[in-house]
């Protein structure tokens, strides 16, 4: 079996499909809420999992023993431009426009109550800098999660090795992701050198 240790907005769904998988997140929090932590199944050969989806240290021992140790190959999907990654995560988190093959509600924003006129993020009567500041706060939550995922990707890579798959090196015009909603996203600068996490080894 093939394991993809993914991070959000790094092209992991398209990459999983290129390996014969379905692109879904095998231990997605919504799935795990119903099934709990589950091991591999006989009829699935490509597993895409974000570190937060096995609960980091909570289930790492089980994930290591059931997935990583018997893996035929381990891949890590990464994105050199961390700021672009978080901006993409912010956009997808607000609009639910995650993948080009998924249907989205034309006017839905998440959380839904953010679309009302009293919320500063979408209240056009308020100055644009206030709307941007609200989005920056929301983006910082994604940045914390994605940075922690990145650290866990590096930790697993150090222990098990595998292949680093960089989004910037796998650009494909045919499957290029194009945003279907307009959102005036803020400029973000987290000063994260993603490659440095893996250059040590």
Average pLDDT value for residue range 141-162 = 96
Question: Is the predicted pLDDT of residue 121 greater than 80, yes or no?
Answer: no
60: CB partners within 8 A, 6+ apart:
54
Average pLDDT value for residue range 176-193 = 81
User: HEC states along the chain?
Assistant: CEEEECCCCCCHHHHHHHCCCCCCECCCHHHHHHHCCCCCCCCCCEEEECHHHHCHHHCHHHHHHHHHCCCCEEEEEECCCHHHHHHHHHHHHHHCCCCCCCCCCCCCCCCHHHHCCCCCCCCCCCCHHHHHHHHHHHHHHHHHHHHHHHHHHHHHHHHHCCEEEEHHHCCCHHHCCCCCCCCCCCCCCCCCCCCHHHHCC
pTM: 0.83
Summarize pLDDT for 101-120 with one digit per residue, the tens: 667 666 555 555 544 444 54
Per-residue confidence (pLDDT) for residue 107, from 0 to 100: 57
HSE at residue 78, side-chain half, CA atoms within 13 A, is 22
Summarize pLDDT for 15-68 with one digit per residue, the tens: 999 999 988 888 877 777 677 788 888 788 999 999 999 999 999 999 999 999
CA 40 to each of CA 3, 44, 62, 109, 127: distance values in angstroms, whole numbers, following the listed order: 10, 7, 11, 34, 50
Per-residue confidence (pLDDT) for residue 120, from 0 to 100: 47
142: CB partners within 8 A, 6+ apart:
8, 86, 89, 90, 93
Question: Is the predicted pLDDT of residue 98 greater than 80, yes or no?
Answer: no
Per-residue confidence (pLDDT) for residue 108, from 0 to 100: 55
């Amino acid at each position: 079996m093939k394991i993809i240790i993914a991070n959000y907005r790094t092209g992991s769904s398209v990459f999983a499909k290129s390996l014969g998988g379905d692109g879904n997140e095998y231990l997605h929090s919504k799935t795990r809420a119903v099934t709990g932590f589950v091991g591999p199944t006989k009829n699935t050969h490509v597993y895409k999992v974000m570190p937060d989806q096995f609960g980091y240290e909570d289930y790492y021992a089980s994930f290591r023993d059931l997935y990583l140790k018997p893996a035929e190959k381990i891949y890590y999907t990464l994105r050199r431009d961390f700021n672009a990654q978080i901006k993409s995560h912010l956009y997808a988190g607000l609009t639910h426009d995650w993948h080009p093959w998924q249907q989205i509600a034309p006017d839905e924003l998440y959380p839904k109550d953010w679309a009302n006129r009293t919320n500063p993020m979408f209240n056009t009567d308020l100055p644009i800098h206030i709307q941007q500041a609200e989005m920056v706060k929301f983006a910082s939550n994604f940045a914390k999660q994605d940075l922690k995922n990145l650290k866990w990707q590096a930790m697993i890579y150090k222990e098990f090795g595998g292949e680093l798959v960089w989004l910037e090196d796998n650009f494909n015009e045919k499957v290029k992701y194009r945003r279907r909603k307009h959102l005036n996203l803020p400029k973000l600068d987290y000063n994260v050198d993603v490659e440095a996490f893996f250059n040590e080894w």
